[in-house]
Chains A and B, each alone.
Chain A
């Protein structure tokens, strides 16, 4: 694809209205190294540095901690432990009081921080942190979810049941039935910028914390809670993150809190930037799942009933595991109607780091389980899995096949059209036939192809989170200051929201200054998560701009003695009847006429509601859809593989910015592919995570991306709900597109036994798992 594919095709004299393909607002700074991340900010004189003191037991009582060597080490200023938390040692985001800032007497996972060293330099702090002597009394530990189930299945939070119809009876009466178990691995976020917090003490109780967080308001609350100061004393800011992916929704709290505690205690600025390996050991990841499923179906592959249990490795505390495991259940149906269904979650406690949000938030694991059931049915009947998929798609509203397991109607279903278009564009049928032919002849290399759909629900399932605020100032020179509660982590949110403002005033994008997210400007924000960033903040910013615009219109109507409908904002100007004044001119005049040129905007998502007790409601405002077709080759001697070609057709409604949206789809695809292929979290028998660095944990490289990679947005799609510009969320949904890679690998494996058996390839499908599955099938 060449650059022109991204150029703005709408005829407009403006540089960046809504729907235009604009580059990321910081792109020119990214490439020059002049985009500042928190670690790049100049440090005030006297800045101190923190380092984590980590434990080396998976589960143990701490009998004693001896810091004498630490304190004697060069540059050390102090050591902080749980006892030094002024008010509370808890930062549980679920408010279950189960997440200590620092381990207090009990170690619950290997590497759990038990103390913090503050020193003059980071190097000194890190070196000193290794000198502590900790005595433990070992306790038995549970690492694996299957083991956790066997040993009683302690939960970290309340499980969820989704039920419609009578799944058990329907299973009994189904002409065919099967059952199986699938393991789905977790995933490290591997944001390129690790966690960081930088706290600068102020007067009274004040403290300002720069935090690499997707959720400044929560950091603010946690800091104020631990310090026991009012929220108004704590300001949390972030201009940009070097990636987040959910890993900075709650996981930044500990670093921010500890930096703030130290800064207030010592009255000096404190920076806390853990090393990559420490970051990977001490912060949560995507949940691993163990899915046990039973499917009842008929000879044509129509699913009649589904019963499944989704058990998750949650780690030692609840964190976000409740909503994550809920979302897994919400997506166990993916795009398929289950006439009878019973889904349960099992959020298991384990002695591992507490797992957390990660792009898709459980949805991907739910969907992978759902797609495995489809695959099983297809292999059991000797059908092309795509055929089985199509037979089970949700129907049109009113078809009687439009109700989800949580009793929400699917009103905006476009999956059949998307899949048909992709099947045609990717030439699926002919390629599948050619692959079957190839496999029959090739001895070592085998190929596979799969086409899988995605339907992903958009909204926080916690209804209260679906609100947002924004602040817009128009200055006398006509320049515009934009602030909102969303955070920028690379997804282009700032750019998109600025486009909304530029569009609203019909001015060039350059006129809009995007400013760092801060709790001081927009309060009580939600995490920038659940793909909701532009839906929520775009609308809130639009609301603020609209208010100012209305005031400007009222002013102009009065000044020029005309009616509001005679006033139009066009191309950096305002037309008032026949007259045309530049935007800055009008603003200047409005200022002198004492018009208020600042506004706070607000938005809350309409319609949605959810009752977790009954498992019923409308948790999602709308659904985003997509489909992908992947072709792979595997080496049946070693299990190595290549992704040969991928075609994607994805639905973002009316794209706010096609360049950014295509970037999100491509990026999510490769990230999701990594999750399902080479990214493996591996714990040893002591409960130590041994893949805690990029040397051992392998995310995709440029040479892993599909050799041919065609990504298209469904340009005909529009959100049926009145979202900003009729766009749809894009952060998470495309993450699930690469399920087609996993399934294509599975087909290639299945070829060694003539496709008679579902290979039951677990994720991640490392070369080892692929080879072992080949061997299993060969042996029969």
Chain B
């Protein structure tokens, strides 16, 4: 192992930054606004929901340099080692000429009060860099994490469509112009050394998975931070003291995605965005679900491993993963162990994770060719909302059209993501008909006694859960009836 260092290094716009006394939970947004006086990046909520703080973060993925929009308000500075942070101030040319994305926002009247605008500009810029001629669906997806209260979005979408004409290779672009330099510098920063900042190692960026295991062994009370899309809010909203903090987002060994005939293994550090291409190909319904988790910024930072480890009853991936029969692998200095994911969730706020353990990977079995798999998220607002309930259904029929295997899991219906065992039992072995579905629906009440809260009443949750069975049934019968905003997309 390379020896420890105490310095966080990254590139901020066109300047190299080295910080050796950064707070364990100092946010990138505060760093930009307070320490750097880069006030173009705004705080609208400090919880990842409004996008006013959107900046791009470039990182090395293999040999590629990838730029992604993130929420600076819930991104900790400690997680930025070996990255390139790009803020709105960096977009215009030195002579003040606006970038085509900015100019389009001006020309199409995409700003009114202007407070959301830097965030939109950065999201649109991220889209512009990554996607050739995006369509309306792409644009709306890229803007799921940005709120605007003034414009009604129409002019912003027009601007995004218009700017698609001006391609990056055809115009001066501040990021493209410095690509080579950034790659070289980031490579040099990625030494594999563990970084520990502050007295008593309050902030640790392990250089290897072994180092991570080591740190957790000596500091079992440490907070693991992957994408910080949950942990960020503990700090900005609950003002929790969470040090020592261990940042794992830079560990390449946790970012692996492996596909075999048996299924998929996802490293715990794989973000939603990184997992999306494969998951949406193998389990299309899972892809459509990911499309509705947070916005792009959250999907770029947040990990499926974190979603699972967080243990929330309303996390969106556990129901789908449970219904698919996923297995979780935990690791510590002592070694690894695997367990069916559904056993990981013990009760509200309690998971089967021992001190010193971290989530290493998830294995998702491949779908049988005849399997029906669907997952439905129900929320007040279609996008970037937390589920009122989320139901996942995985069915195989035998040759007679009887239910051979069925696994159903719900989020939002109990204190944990939970299998609907009684419901399944009521249906297994029977002909897959509306009558059988009705039996399942009748049994749901034995599985779930949901709560009433601000997302939905218990009555609604019960009714909608039962109706999702109907929806699933209709879908297996080729009568899919989910409302879609765009053909071919959820």
Q: For chain A residues 686-725, which have a beta carbon within 8 Å of chain B?
A: 690-691, 693-696, 698-705, 707, 709, 711
Q: Is A635 part of the contact surface with B, judged by Cβ < 8 Å?
A: yes
Verify B102–A667 contact, CB threshold 8 A. Answer: no
Size of the A side of the interface (Cβ < 8 Å), in residues, is 93
Verify B42–A693 contact, CB threshold 8 A. Answer: no
User: B233 to chain A: which residues have CB within 8 Å?
Assistant: 695
Q: Is B385 part of the contact surface with A, judged by Cβ < 8 Å?
A: yes
Closest chain A residue, CB of each to CB of B90 = A33
Question: Which of B60-68, B304-312, B343-351, B449-457 sits within the interface?
Answer: B449-457
Verify A635–B150 contact, CB threshold 8 A. Answer: no
- Shortest distance in angstroms between A381's beta carbon and chain B's nearest beta carbon? 31
Q: Is B7 part of the contact surface with A, judged by Cβ < 8 Å?
A: no
Cβ-defined partner of A32 (8 Å) among B88, B109, B154, B464: B88
Verify A705–B153 contact, CB threshold 8 A. Answer: yes
User: B154 to chain A: which residues have CB within 8 Å?
Assistant: 666, 670, 705, 709, 711
Whether A445 touches B150, Cβ cut-off 8 Å, given contacts A638-B468, A701-B381, is: no
- Shortest distance in angstroms between B253's beta carbon and chain A's nearest beta carbon? 32
Cα–Cα, bound, A705→B384 (Å): 14
Q: Is A190 part of the contact surface with B, judged by Cβ < 8 Å?
A: yes
Cα–Cα, bound, A485→B150 (Å): 22
Q: Is B445 part of the contact surface with A, judged by Cβ < 8 Å?
A: no
Cα–Cα, bound, A680→B388 (Å): 14
Cβ-defined partner of A276 (8 Å) among B38, B46, B381: B46
Verify A28–B150 contact, CB threshold 8 A. Answer: no
Question: Which of A161-169, A327-335, A406-414, A487-495 sits within the interface?
Answer: A487-495
Cα–Cα, bound, A708→B205 (Å): 48
Verify A37–B106 contact, CB threshold 8 A. Answer: no
Verify A667–B114 contact, CB threshold 8 A. Answer: no
Cα–Cα, bound, A32→B467 (Å): 48
Closest chain A residue, CB of each to CB of B26 = A123
From DSSP, what is the main secondary structure of chain A's interface residues? Answer: loop
Verify A702–B146 contact, CB threshold 8 A. Answer: yes
- Shortest distance in angstroms between A143's beta carbon and chain B's nearest beta carbon? 14
Verify A445–B483 contact, CB threshold 8 A. Answer: yes
Q: Is A766 part of the contact surface with B, judged by Cβ < 8 Å?
A: yes
Verify A37–B115 contact, CB threshold 8 A. Answer: yes
Please report the number of residue pairs spanning A and B whose Cβ atoms sit closer than 8 angstroms: 275
What mask results when residues 434 to 464 of chain A are scored 1 for a CB within 8 Å of chain B, else 0? 0000000001110000000000000000000
Cα–Cα, bound, A639→B386 (Å): 16
Verify B112–A771 contact, CB threshold 8 A. Answer: no
Whether A492 touches B112, Cβ cut-off 8 Å, given contacts A642-B485, A682-B454, A703-B382, is: yes
Cα–Cα, bound, A707→B121 (Å): 22
User: B481 to chain A: which residues have CB within 8 Å?
Assistant: 443-445, 635, 637
Size of the B side of the interface (Cβ < 8 Å), in residues, is 92
User: B87 to chain A: which residues have CB within 8 Å?
Assistant: 33
User: B152 to chain A: which residues have CB within 8 Å?
Assistant: 666-671, 700, 705, 709
Verify B118–A667 contact, CB threshold 8 A. Answer: no
Q: For chain A residues 717-772, which have a beta carbon within 8 Å of chain B?
A: 766-768, 771-772
Q: For chain B residues 456-490, which have a beta carbon within 8 Å of chain A?
A: 456-457, 459-460, 463-464, 467-468, 470-471, 474, 479, 481-483, 485
- Shortest distance in angstroms between B483's beta carbon and chain A's nearest beta carbon? 5
What mask results when residues 27 to 38 of chain A are scored 1 for a CB within 8 Å of chain B, else 0? 111111111110
User: A666 to chain B: which residues have CB within 8 Å?
Assistant: 151-152, 154-155
User: B88 to chain A: which residues have CB within 8 Å?
Assistant: 31-33
Q: For chain B residues 103-151, which have a beta carbon within 8 Å of chain A?
A: 103, 105-118, 121, 139-141, 143-144, 146-151
User: B456 to chain A: which residues have CB within 8 Å?
Assistant: 768
Verify B155–A663 contact, CB threshold 8 A. Answer: yes
Closest chain B residue, CB of each to CB of A764 = B380
**15 A-B pairs whose Cβ atoms sit less than 8 Å apart in the complex:** A31-B105, A123-B30, A192-B42, A242-B114, A277-B237, A635-B483, A638-B471, A666-B154, A682-B454, A690-B454, A693-B45, A694-B47, A694-B50, A694-B147, A698-B380
The list of the 8 closest CB pairs from A to B, nearest first, reads A33-B40, A490-B113, A242-B115, A30-B114, A670-B152, A490-B112, A694-B49, A698-B381
* Chain B residues engaging chain A, CB cutoff 8 angstroms: 30, 33, 37-47, 49-50, 52, 87-89, 91-92, 98, 102-103, 105-118, 121, 139-141, 143-144, 146-158, 162, 233, 236-237, 239, 376, 378-386, 388, 453-457, 459-460, 463-464, 467-468, 470-471, 474, 479, 481-483, 485
